[in-house]
């Protein structure tokens, strides 16, 4: 697509965290990156990879938007730490956290950027409300030609065979924040390793600290991967700090929440 026909993202920083778990997740990542490069212009993408050895092949896409940053790490996937590291590298007033398997409606993504840069009503925005998982031939078609038009034809009220509602509502996947507000509340809690609970913990902490966090009433699309391991993972973290952290925020006094934010925000200084 010619640059003139792409949607400008107004020079924002997009942050993607990644660890290559299997071929399916790897191909999801390259599809998402190809979709972003095909659809948008005027952005920088920080791909933060944490693993024992790097796996991302920048030459496969040869996309000048992408900055690959490798963090040697052989413990549980440090998603929160990677996102926070990306924010330290970023310089735009609005930052976008973007999962390696998620696709937003382009008009909604741009509308969120405009609202955060120019509006007075929100400090954080999700460019979606529900999450629709796409698999099978529908997913393969998008991977072969990652144009949003393939997904735009999906009717959320009458989903095709290869699509299901993964979450009726959610607050992770793709989130845009005013950078100053993200830093003020401490960012993602890097004590929580892996995935699960970190999005809810940030939402509850940020809300307690006055962040106005809203969502757009449109779906986001999720590229299917290893659903069996997803269920196993949710069960595995059921009694961990990740699972308890969101509820812990609700039980804290306001002074304790403010002290936690100060402690976490020290990472950005």
pLDDT for res 1: 64
DSSP assignment letter at 64: T
If residue 230 lies in a helix (H) or strand (E), which one and from where to where?
helix 227-236
Distances 225 to 45, 83, 159 between C-alpha atoms, Å: 23, 22, 19
If residue 125 lies in a helix (H) or strand (E), which one and from where to where?
strand 124-126
Mean pLDDT of 24-51: 97
Q: For 90-115, write each residue's pLDDT tens digit.
A: 999 999 999 999 999 999 999 999 99
DSSP assignment letter at 238: T
How does residue 243 score in pLDDT terms, banded at 50, 70 and 90?
A: confident
| Spatial contact of 87 and 180, defined as CB atoms under 8 Å apart | no
Q: For residues 176 and 236, give the distance between their C-alpha atoms in angstroms, rounded to a whole number.
A: 29
Provide the residue count of the chain: 269
Q: For residues 89 and 267, give the distance between their C-alpha atoms in angstroms, rounded to a whole number.
A: 12
Q: For residues 132 and 101, give the distance between their C-alpha atoms in angstroms, rounded to a whole number.
A: 12
Q: For 128-155, write each residue's pLDDT tens digit.
A: 999 999 999 999 999 999 999 999 999 9
Distance of CA 200 to the CA centre of its chain: 13
In the predicted model, is pLDDT for residue 217 greater than 60?
A: yes
> Nearest 5 degrees, angle CA 109-CA 111-CA 116?
100
> Nearest 5 degrees, angle CA 218-CA 198-CA 203?
55
pTM of the model: 0.94
> Nearest 5 degrees, angle CA 187-CA 193-CA 198?
45
Q: 31: closest CA among 201, 200, 145, 120?
A: 145
Output phi, psi for 12, to 5 deg. -80, 165
In the predicted model, is pLDDT for residue 181 greater than 60?
A: yes
């Amino acid at each position: 697509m010619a640059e003139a026909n792409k949607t400008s993202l107004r020079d924002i920083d997009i942050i993607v965290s990644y660890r290559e778990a299997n071929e399916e997740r790897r191909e999801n990542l390259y599809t998402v990156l190809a979709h972003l490069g095909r659809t948008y212009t005027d952005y920088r993408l920080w791909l933060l990879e944490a693993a024992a050895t790097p796996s991302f092949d920048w030459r496969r896409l040869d996309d000048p938007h992408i900055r690959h940053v490798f963090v040697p790490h052989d413990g549980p996937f440090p998603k929160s730490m990677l996102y926070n590291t990306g924010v330290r590298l970023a310089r735009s007033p609005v930052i976008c956290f973007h999962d390696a398997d998620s696709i937003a409606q382009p008009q909604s993504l741009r509308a969120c950027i405009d609202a955060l840069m120019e509006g007075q009503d929100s400090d954080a925005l999700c460019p979606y409300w529900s999450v629709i998982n796409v698999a099978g031939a529908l997913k393969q078609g998008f991977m072969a030609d990652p144009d949003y038009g393939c997904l735009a034809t999906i009717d959320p009220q009458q989903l095709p065979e290869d699509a299901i509602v993964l979450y009726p509502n959610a607050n992770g996947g793709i989130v845009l924040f005013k950078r100053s507000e993200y830093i003020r509340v401490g960012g993602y809690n890097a004590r929580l390793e892996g995935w699960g609970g970190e999005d809810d913990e940030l939402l509850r902490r940020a809300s307690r600290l006055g962040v106005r966090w809203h969502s757009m009433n449109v779906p986001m699309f999720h590229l299917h991967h290893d659903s069996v391991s997803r269920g196993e993972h949710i069960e595995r973290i059921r009694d961990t700090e990740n699972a308890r952290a969101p509820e812990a925020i609700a039980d804290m006094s306001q002074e304790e929440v403010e002290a936690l934010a100060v402690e976490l925000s020290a990472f950005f200084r």
